[in-house]
With several copies, the nearest count.
Chain A
Amino acid sequence: MKKIMNAVADIVRESCEGFALAHADLVRLSTDPLFLCRADSMSGRVGLLSGGGSGHEPLHSGFIGRGMLSAACPGEVFTSPVPDQMLAATKAISGGKGVLYIVKNYTGDVMNFELAAELAAAEGIEVQSVVIGDDVAVEDSTWTAGRRGVGGTVLLEKIAGAAAEAGADLAEVKKVAEGVMENVRSMGLALTGATVPAAGKPNFVLADDEMELGIGIHGEPGRERTAMKSADELVDALLGPIIGDLGLGRGEEVIAFTNGMGGTPLLELYVAHRQVVKHLEGLGVRVARHLVGNFITSLEMQGMSITLMRASAEQLRLWDAPVVTPALRWGA
């Protein structure tokens, strides 16, 4: 394992410190308990809190700022944060209109946020939660832990963040978030594994002609380990289940998000995105908005995920609304 780090035990805190130094205009850091929140006041707005294991940067901390998240709690690498962090962050961003928790559907994340919500309620802060599970690679969701929260989380945080920024109340912001969840689906693949610092070795190893289709963002196994294919075939393999599950049809409009898992060059991501657009155009689906880059990653893993969201005019308006965060900025 070769990583730019000092001690394994310090990597998350030190990274957060560097992040807070680099983005002092936008974020403030609390080290004990560990969380990051907006530098400006939240008064009069619904707070948006997310969090999860580290190693998926820029998610979530990179999305703190005007028009997106109010705070984020980073856990250890690939490990859920704990309720103490969430409660402290909740208090920091509570501006009187309540707080929405945005939780990716992993057992640990869900339970820790649940506990935090109970603790916050005990302190008189109104909390609502949404649990996002947009990963179509998990097929049988009734009897299992359910679909995992992946790329759709980025779109949800942006769109719900725009609603909160505009002054919507907690129920409205939650409804906007649910509107995203109903219409967003994702699927990913890995060309290589990733090495969790505490583990010291890759979580899995793929041969030079293999890839893992339907991977989660922690390298959890997906649908199948299969032969490496051309970019266009890879994209088609990811789009099929997504389009089927969304029931996308001619004349509809989507936001298309081609995401890198961390170690895949932009050069390749844009090759993939070209085929995303061509494939959808072939079906008569219009790509109304595009997002391409490494936004929800799995350390240095090579691979990609595709996220599509069927978008209404109102959702596109919220997507276009100004956002000023370390990792996503436009319109302001």
Chain B
Amino acid sequence: MTHTFGPAQARDFLQRYADKISAHAQELTDLDAAIGDADHGSNMQRGMQAVVAALPAEGNPSALLKSAAMALISKVGGASGPLYGTALLRAASSQTDKAEWTSEDLRAALEAAYAGLIERGKAQVGDKTMLDAWRPALDALQKGTPEAAATAARAGSDATKAMLAKKGRASYLGERSVGHLDPGSVSSALLFEALAEALA
């Protein structure tokens, strides 16, 4: 299935993601309280508010995503700021000139984003991080729709519950991390859901 990711979709995606983060901020913070330091919701909310506030009036998808990346990097701090910021920056850099991205452009951009997450965080799939939502989402996108990717991200996030954390603050808990969802995987599932809705 094909779709177009132009300025309108990019803008819609970021706005929808900001709304979802707002709606789920408390949930994300509560998840982080269990195995981290209880700030993932407030971190992401602060960041996505800054993203929306900073969005330029004009600009192609690359420019919009780059603006979002810089806002996240400047405002979030913690682990999630550099991770999401790097991801969006890499996506933006994958296609700087085009006014509209094809579905193939978007897929490549998201793979570049994923490579950025790996490079920045040095984690692997199965370490109980946001990667565990991203990888299945990208795999689903290879032959399926954005909705399929969103569904896969959510399933991947749900699967983190059984995992033992190997990276981030949760890793200090060792065995005690098992039985809790990874908060970053949940905020990543929200990201793929926002993207699917923007492309629907």
With the chains together, A52 CA to B101 CA distance in Å? 39
With the chains together, A79 CA to B47 CA distance in Å? 14
User: Given the complex, which residues of A lie within 8 Å of B172, measured CB to CB?
Assistant: 138, 144-145, 148, 216, 220-221
Q: How many residue pairs bridge A and B at CB < 8 Å?
A: 81
With the chains together, A119 CA to B69 CA distance in Å? 14
Chain B: CB-nearest residue to A216: B172
Whether A84 pairs with B74 at a CB distance below 8 angstroms is yes
B156 interface residue, CB < 8 Å from A? Answer: no
Chain B: CB-nearest residue to A148: B172
With the chains together, A220 CA to B176 CA distance in Å? 12
With the chains together, A79 CA to B42 CA distance in Å? 11
Known A84-B74, A112-B81: A79·B169 in contact at CB below 8 Å: no
- Which of B1-9, B11-19, B82-90, B185-193 touches A? B82-90
**Nearest chain B CB to A287 CB, angstrom units:** 30
Chain A: CB-nearest residue to B83: A111
Whether B171 pairs with A145 at a CB distance below 8 angstroms is yes
Whether B38 pairs with A112 at a CB distance below 8 angstroms is no
B104 interface residue, CB < 8 Å from A? Answer: no
Enumerate B50-82 residues with CB–CB distance to A below 8 Å. 73-79, 81-82
Enumerate A215-257 residues with CB–CB distance to B below 8 Å. 216, 218, 220-221
Q: From the candidates A76, A111, A140, A216, name the one contacting B82 in the complex (CB within 8 A).
A: A111
Q: From the candidates B42, B82, B121, name the one contacting A115 in the complex (CB within 8 A).
A: B82
With the chains together, A107 CA to B184 CA distance in Å? 13
B97 interface residue, CB < 8 Å from A? Answer: no
Q: From the candidates B39, B120, B173, B174, name the one contacting A79 in the complex (CB within 8 A).
A: B39
Chain B: CB-nearest residue to A199: B38
Known A114-B120, A115-B73, A221-B176: A107·B168 in contact at CB below 8 Å: yes
Whether B168 pairs with A145 at a CB distance below 8 angstroms is yes
With the chains together, A83 CA to B73 CA distance in Å? 7
The interface size bin for chain A is: 20 to 34
Chain A: CB-nearest residue to B29: A199
User: Given the complex, which residues of B lie within 8 Å of A76, measured CB to CB?
Assistant: 77
Known A115-B85, A115-B86: A80·B77 in contact at CB below 8 Å: yes
**Nearest chain A CB to B39 CB, angstrom units:** 6
Interface of A is mostly: loop
A161 interface residue, CB < 8 Å from B? Answer: no
B98 interface residue, CB < 8 Å from A? Answer: no
With the chains together, A82 CA to B168 CA distance in Å? 17
With the chains together, A83 CA to B120 CA distance in Å? 14
Number of interface residues of B (CB under 8 A): 29
With the chains together, A199 CA to B167 CA distance in Å? 24
Q: From the candidates A82, A144, A145, A221, name the one contacting B77 in the complex (CB within 8 A).
A: A82
Whether A111 pairs with B120 at a CB distance below 8 angstroms is yes
Known A144-B166, A145-B169: A82·B74 in contact at CB below 8 Å: yes
User: Given the complex, which residues of B lie within 8 Å of A114, measured CB to CB?
Assistant: 82, 120
**Nearest chain B CB to A13 CB, angstrom units:** 15
Whether A144 pairs with B167 at a CB distance below 8 angstroms is yes
User: Given the complex, which residues of A lie within 8 Å of B38, measured CB to CB?
Assistant: 196, 199
With the chains together, A168 CA to B23 CA distance in Å? 53
Residue among A79, A111, A115 having the largest count of chain B Cβ atoms under 10 Å: A111
**Nearest chain A CB to B164 CB, angstrom units:** 9
A58 interface residue, CB < 8 Å from B? Answer: no
**Nearest chain A CB to B167 CB, angstrom units:** 6
**Nearest chain A CB to B92 CB, angstrom units:** 15
User: Given the complex, which residues of A lie within 8 Å of B174, measured CB to CB?
Assistant: 140, 144
A293 interface residue, CB < 8 Å from B? Answer: no
Q: From the candidates A82, A196, A198, A203, name the one contacting B76 in the complex (CB within 8 A).
A: A82
A188 interface residue, CB < 8 Å from B? Answer: no
Chain B: CB-nearest residue to A83: B73
Task: Bits for B21-43, please: 1 = Cβ < 8 Å to A, else 0.
Answer: 00000000000000001110011
Q: Give 16 CB contacts A-B under 8 Å.
A: A79-B77, A82-B75, A82-B81, A83-B74, A106-B169, A107-B169, A108-B78, A108-B79, A108-B82, A111-B79, A111-B86, A114-B120, A115-B82, A145-B167, A145-B169, A145-B171
In order of increasing CB-CB distance, the 4 nearest A-B pairs are A111-B82, A144-B171, A108-B78, A107-B79
Interface residues of chain B, those whose CB is within 8 Å of chain A, are 37-39, 42-43, 73-79, 81-83, 85-86, 120-121, 165-169, 171-174, 176
